Amino acid sequence: MRLIPPVAVPAGGALIAASILSGSDQAFREHMIRESGFARLSFFPSGRAALSRVLSRWKRDGRDEVVIPAYTCWSVAASIVRAGLRIRAVDVDPLTLDYQPGALESACGERTVAVVAAHLFARTAHTQRIADAARSCGASWIDDAAQAIPFEFTGADAAILSFGRGKPFALGGGGALLTGAGGEAQTGSDPRSGGLFAALQLILTSWAGRPTWYRLPRALPFLQIGNTIYNPEFDADAPFYRWQARLGARQQLDWATVAARRSEHARRLMPAVERCPGWAIPARQAVTAGPLRLPVLAPSRAVRDRTRALLLKMGVDASVMYPGSIVQIPGIEPHLAGGTDLPGAVELVDRLMTLPTYPTLAPRDLQRIGDAFVTAVGAEG
């Protein structure tokens, strides 16, 4: 019955209930501004709503392209399309999870309005190189920190945060936009009262994400657990609640411990992967940054898929992230600029798998993940 999920909501019912009853609505905003070095923070219904809003404000005649990695969350593409802009997807290096050297620089041009630095699992994008490429063509650049909270100012024109399940701050939804003092103020929404049903949903998600119970919700197809959806018509008007801001402030108090625990879990799982011939760990520097998941590269898609199926039978739900690259999203063709021959992104689609590292994993869970991985790879081989 026991099944270890790929991600989990660290906040329990008691912490969520306390956030409904009391706390500061402003502490979360003030902390993020102070830690990130940005001047302003605006709340939005989601990270994609925040990204779409800032891109809409930056759009101007003659500049209608946004440069993004060819392998990243499909919500990034949905945000660009909603803003009325075109996507220039740039190939990625599977071993760094970042732009291919040289490919980014050649992709930036006179039509580029913005370049996105997309961090997968932790801080994986080389922000200085991205900033230089954007500045060279007169474009802005955005630090997509949906999977990596920015603890120092990177010099970006804006940064995107997301507060969904499995994110660094799991608040049951919502997002935020960070901007500098010299930039144009962005209109988001102030946290609202209410949202008790949303709080109850988060409590249930936290409960259902425990290994003891996770097999039950995973078996229900209508919950779409683990599905990646491309939807440019997403809701951009949903509220961000006061209890979510208070919960974020409470999570901040323990953030350093949580990040250290994620890093330790990743380090404990790495030897199991390294024992298996043909498997690799990309973006190794991210292990010290509290990764949301530990990425691993299989020798091939067939090996990856069979290993994942065996892991599931042994009680570990390893995820494969996005089902396709950005240029493989159904219906995306009219919104693309540039070529679609992007072998690095295809390699990630075929080979990438992730192992759980969330902070509430028990020592026996980590042992089980490592042992199951070695056993599954050995059985598959």
Mean residue pLDDT across the chain: 92
| C-alpha–C-alpha distance, residues 373 and 355, integer Å | 9
Which domains are present in the chain?
13-179 (3.40.640.10)
Does 373 score more than 60 pLDDT?
yes
Please report which confidence band the pLDDT of residue 377 belongs to, taking 50, 70 and 90 as the band edges: very high
Structure-block tokens of residue 258: 């949580």
Q: What is the pLDDT of residue 187?
A: 66
Does 225 score more than 90 pLDDT?
no
Q: What is the pLDDT of residue 18?
A: 94
Please report which confidence band the pLDDT of residue 359 belongs to, taking 50, 70 and 90 as the band edges: very high
CA 230 vs CA 75, 77, 162, 341: distances in Å:
6, 8, 16, 21
pTM of the model: 0.94
Query: What average pLDDT does range 2-19 have in this prediction?
Result: 90
| C-alpha–C-alpha distance, residues 304 and 270, integer Å | 17
Does 140 score more than 90 pLDDT?
yes
DSSP string, 242-297: HHHHHHHHHHHHTHHHHHHHHHHHHHHHHHHHHTSTT-B-S-GGGGGG--SEEEEE
Count of beta carbons in the 10 Å neighbourhood of residue 49: 26
Q: What is the pLDDT of residue 128?
A: 94
Residue 151's Cβ-count burial label (10 Å; 0-12, 13-18, 19+) is middle
Per-state percent for the chain, helix, strand, coil, to nearest 5: 40, 15, 40
Q: What is the pLDDT of residue 107?
A: 96
Does 150 score more than 70 pLDDT?
no
Q: What is the pLDDT of residue 19?
A: 94
Q: pLDDT tens for residues 178-218?
A: 998 765 555 677 899 999 999 999 999 898 888 888 988 88
Q: What is the pLDDT of residue 25?
A: 85
- Of 169, 116, 107, residue with least CA distance to 358: 169
CA 98 vs CA 121, 300, 323: distances in Å:
12, 20, 18
Please report which confidence band the pLDDT of residue 272 belongs to, taking 50, 70 and 90 as the band edges: very high
DSSP string, 45-83: SSHHHHHHHHHHHH-BTTB-EEEEESSS-HHHHHHHHHT
Amino acid letter, residue 75 = S
Q: Assess contact for 135 and 151: CB atoms under 8 A.
A: no
Q: pLDDT tens for residues 282-330?
A: 999 888 888 999 999 999 999 999 999 999 999 999 999 999 999 999 9
Does 112 score more than 90 pLDDT?
yes
Query: What average pLDDT does range 124-146 have in this prediction?
Result: 95
Q: What is the pLDDT of residue 185?
A: 52
| C-alpha–C-alpha distance, residues 159 and 136, integer Å | 20
Q: What is the pLDDT of residue 182?
A: 65
Please report which confidence band the pLDDT of residue 104 belongs to, taking 50, 70 and 90 as the band edges: very high
Q: What is the pLDDT of residue 191?
A: 92
Q: What is the pLDDT of residue 381?
A: 61
Q: pLDDT tens for residues 11-42?
A: 888 999 999 999 888 999 999 998 888 999 99
Q: pLDDT tens for residues 34-92?
A: 888 899 999 999 999 999 999 999 999 899 999 999 999 999 999 999 999 999 999 99
Q: How far out from the chain centre does Cα 366 lie? A: 22
- Of 322, 324, 329, residue with least CA distance to 87: 329
Please report which confidence band the pLDDT of residue 139 belongs to, taking 50, 70 and 90 as the band edges: very high
Q: What is the pLDDT of residue 35?
A: 87
